[in-house]
């Protein structure tokens, strides 16, 4: 299990505890705050997963380009022309 998932479970348990044991305005504000935090954490997890997928695709693309260049064989070294070669 992911650490953020465990934090979400903790917040969910805290919201149920708030409903059962608190009275007055706290009875509703604590669970609402916990549910809001759960929503925020889920959005954070989604963004982190999307960024990880993008990094993975970029790495795969770079690896593919590297393999293609390696398959072309060794490249001829480029050297500067000498004046004798030009005339």
Return averaged pLDDT per consecutive 10 residues of the chain, 87 residues in all: 87 93 90 94 94 95 87 63 62
Q: Is residue 80 part of a domain?
A: no
pLDDT of amino acid 1: 60
Question: Residue 62's domain spans which residues?
Answer: 3-70
Q: Is residue 42 part of a domain?
A: yes
pLDDT of amino acid 66: 86
Q: Is residue 58 part of a domain?
A: yes
Task: Count the neighbouring beta carbons within 10 Å of the beta carbon of residue 27.
Answer: 13
Q: What share of the chain is helix, strand, coil (3-state, %, to 5)?
A: 80, 0, 20
pLDDT of amino acid 67: 87
**Whole-angstrom Cα distance, residue 87 to residue 85?**
6
Q: Is residue 24 part of a domain?
A: yes
- Provide the number of structural domains found in the chain: 1
Q: What is the pTM of this model?
A: 0.64
pLDDT of amino acid 18: 92
Q: Is residue 82 part of a domain?
A: no
Q: Is residue 34 part of a domain?
A: yes
């Amino acid at each position: 299990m992911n650490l953020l998932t465990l934090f979400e479970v903790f917040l969910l348990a805290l919201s149920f505890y708030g409903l059962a044991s608190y009275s007055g305005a706290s009875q509703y504000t604590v669970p609402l705050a916990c549910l809001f935090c759960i929503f925020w954490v889920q959005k954070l997890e989604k963004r982190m997963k999307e960024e990880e997928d993008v990094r993975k695709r970029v790495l795969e693309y770079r690896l593919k380009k590297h393999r293609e260049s390696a398959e072309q064989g060794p490249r001829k070294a480029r050297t500067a022309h000498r004046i004798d070669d030009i005339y």
